[in-house]
Amino acid sequence: MNKVEDAVDLFATGMNCSQTILTVFGEPYGIESAMAKRLGRPLGAGMGRMAGTCGAVSAAVLILGLAKDNGDEAQARTDSFFCVQEFFKNFRAVHGTTDCRDLLGADMSTEEGKKRIQQENLIRTLCPSFVKSAAEILDGLLKS
pLDDT at 50: 96
Q: Residue 31 in 3-state DSSP?
A: coil
Instruction: Please tell me the pTM assigned to this model.
Output: 0.96
In this prediction, residue 41 carries a pLDDT of 97
Output the pLDDT for position 1: 67
Contacts of 58 (CB under 8 A, 6+ apart): 18, 43, 47
Predicted local distance difference test score (pLDDT) of residue 58: 98
pLDDT digits (tens, 9 = 90+) for 30-71: 999 999 999 999 999 999 999 999 999 999 999 999 999 888
pLDDT score, position 20: 98
CA proximity to 23, closest of 14, 13, 35, 12: 35
User: Long-range pairs for 91-94 at CB < 8 Å and ≥24 separation?
Assistant: 91/57, 91/133, 91/134, 91/137, 94/133
**The pLDDT of residue 70:** 86
Q: Which residues of the chain have pLDDT under 50?
A: none
Spell out the domain ranges in the chain.
3-143
